[in-house]
Amino acid sequence: MKKECKDCGAELTIPQDSMVGEIITCPDCGTDFEIVSKTEDTVEMKEAESVGEDWGQ
């Protein structure tokens, strides 16, 4: 399955065995996307939240 990167427009290849919650990384710009829902012919993704370092504060 193919999807378009929302940041740079590159083509993302979504593996058939991918699951909800999996992270897909754009090969061109490096943006991470999280799969939020998936059916046989559609995949919905959102930009993955980046977690910064926790300095114990």
Q: Which pLDDT does position 22 carry in this prediction?
A: 95
User: For residue 56, what pLDDT band results from cuts at 50, 70 and 90?
Assistant: low
pLDDT in tens, 28-52: 999 999 999 998 888 999 999 876 6
Domains and CATH numbers, the chain: 2-47 (2.20.28.160)
Tokens of 2: 């193919």
SS3 percent helix, strand, coil of the chain, rounded to 5, is: 0, 35, 65
pLDDT in tens, 3-16: 999 999 999 999 98
What does pTM read for this prediction? 0.78
Q: Which pLDDT does position 46 carry in this prediction?
A: 93
How many Å apart are CA 34 and CA 32, to the nearest integer?
A: 7
User: For residue 54, what pLDDT band results from cuts at 50, 70 and 90?
Assistant: low
